Structure 1
Amino acid sequence: MITVHHLNNSRSQRILWLLEELALPYDIKRYERDRKTMLAPPELRQIHPLGKSPVITDGDLVLAESGAIIEYLAGHHGGGRLLPAAGTPERLRCTYWLHYAEGSAMPPLLLKLVFQRVATTPAPFFVKPVLKGVATKVQDSFVDPQIKLHLDYLESELTKTPWFAGESFTAADIQMSFPLEAASGRAGLTPARYPRLADFLTRIHGRPAYQRALEKGGAYHVG
């Protein structure tokens, strides 16, 4: 039996969504973030040394990293669903987006979150202006331009095809959901600025499997 080690408000939500799209049976083991640090609890290290989510177990297999998990589940349990045929341009695009989501799109969004917290974290009055100034400068000069570069690129890509890998919904769209939801929550992805990306989010949020995953995974917010 596949078990998803599910951390609230994390990338593991899209693994639940994938499993619902594939109509595969699975169990959920829940973990909650520390309310002060927002970090995963130490219990996750008992499953995987890095103590991060998502992690799945499938028999003796323990597998981390969203892209690897998605490829494994779709390839070994999906019966060919949600992965384009091998050797096609669509399959290459699907593979590209599976890697791009975490390798390129998420780093500037993570930096945005870090520097937003640096700017607002409690500090002695004589240090606070320095921290806020540094955080603001880094965001304005590097982080925000990088995010804009990626969002402009992604908006352009969705002018070519309705889904990231082509004409059909694939695992690539599940993988890309998290950075786009993060951008919507913290980086200016709005319908006015990025209509195609906003429409993509509306379409995935309306999918029955997405809704079922929310019901099973619990409250989910990426901000």
Structure 2
Amino acid sequence: MDGNSQQKTIPTVYNMSSSKAREVLWALEEIADAGIKYNIVNLPRRGADTTKVLKSHFPLGKSPTVTLEHVDGEAEVTYQIIPNVLTETRLILQFISDHYTDGIWIPESEEDKARDTFFQEFANGSLLAKVNFIVTFEVIPAMLFFPLRQLTLLMVLPIRLHFMNDLTISYQILDDALSEERPWFSGKKLGLADLNMIFPMDQAVGGGYIKLEKYPKLAKWHDTVINRPAYKRALEKGGPYDLATYA
């Protein structure tokens, strides 16, 4: 793939610390060696101007948000609903795949295509939703003053434990899906499902919501991802991540 000859837009990723933007940065670093260029604007999660900057591009003010500069000077193209602006992580990753990769992430078989589609949805639906439930019930007490904080922690503990137990089914589904023949959630090779899966899995690992030793194939997948050079470069460029405290 000759990235320089086919790249028609230069994306700028608005990366808020400890956000799903890490998936977008990882994707772009995976294809950076092919000559794909991009820009990054790092924003602190609790920065005074972070929301203002993000909302200047899209009303929700969420990260990742991606803006596009056209190489040929074309001023405005509406890919979603606002010209030259992309939001929603799964859709941003799909855009990257469609426009910058020359199809390298497209599964080779019909079985893997179905698998890739399923696990993209699973990552952003079933898995992420349950992980975020736990995060929510940890954040609420942290926002309160002592002694109300301690009382609230005790009150939400059974709810937190319920969702952690509920997640074990999801982890088993993920572990069962991996094999020597298909070591990726996209199938035989890295694909969009894996790029979508890493943030909720990193949340689960960072928050202590999973005992990886119980899921050896899932643990191997996670270890493989976090040791990929492109993933490491994404974290270096995106700044420090703390998915336990979301600093």
Normalising by the residue count of structure 1, what TM-score does the alignment of the two structures yield?
0.88
Query: 1:177-188 residue pairs with structure 2 within 5 A?
Result: 177-188=198-209
Give the match's secondary structure for 2:14. Answer: strand
Find the counterpart in structure 2 of residue 53 from structure 1.
63
Instruction: Identify which of 13, 17, 22 aligns with 1:4.
Output: 13
Give the match's secondary structure for 1:92. Answer: helix
Aligned length: 218
Q: Please say if 1:113 is aligned against 2:135.
A: yes
Find the counterpart in structure 1 of residue 219 from structure 2.
198
Find the counterpart in structure 2 of residue 147 from structure 1.
167
Q: Contact between 1:8 and 1:217, CA under 8 Å: does it hold in 2?
A: yes
Q: Contact between 1:181 and 1:222, CA under 8 Å: does it hold in 2?
A: yes
Question: Gaps (5+ residues) in structure 1?
Answer: none
More moved, 114-123 vs 98-107: 114-123
Instruction: Identify which of 5, 18, 25 aligns with 1:16.
Output: 25
Q: Please say if 1:43 is aligned against 2:59.
A: no
Q: Any idea what the Cα deviations from partners look like across 1:55-111, whole Å, max 9, x if unmatched?
A: 1112342111111011111012211011225x7221222122222211111111111
Between the aligned partners of 2:120 and 2:171, the Cα distance in structure 1 is 16
Find the counterpart in structure 1 of residue 236 from structure 2.
215
Instruction: Give, in angstroms, the shift of residue 163 of structure 1.
Output: 0.7
Q: Please say if 1:25 is aligned against 2:45.
A: no
Question: Gaps (5+ residues) in structure 2?
Answer: 1-9, 70-75, 77-83
Between the aligned partners of 1:179 and 1:40, the Cα distance in structure 2 is 23
Normalising by the residue count of structure 2, what TM-score does the alignment of the two structures yield?
0.80
Change over 3 Å in CA distance of 1:191–1:143 after alignment to 2? closer
Amino acid at match of 1:101: A
Q: Contact between 2:141 and 2:152, CA under 8 Å: does it hold in 1?
A: yes
Instruction: Give, in angstroms, the shift of residue 41 of structure 1.
Output: 2.7
Q: Contact between 2:164 and 2:209, CA under 8 Å: does it hold in 1?
A: no
Between the aligned partners of 1:26 and 1:119, the Cα distance in structure 2 is 39
Give identity over the alignment, percent.
28
Find the counterpart in structure 1 of residue 81 from structure 2.
none
Q: Contact between 1:44 and 1:51, CA under 8 Å: does it hold in 2?
A: yes
Between the aligned partners of 1:73 and 1:32, the Cα distance in structure 2 is 24
Instruction: Give, in angstroms, the shift of residue 53 of structure 1.
Output: 0.7
Change over 3 Å in CA distance of 1:111–1:190 after alignment to 2? same
Change over 3 Å in CA distance of 1:194–1:18 after alignment to 2? same
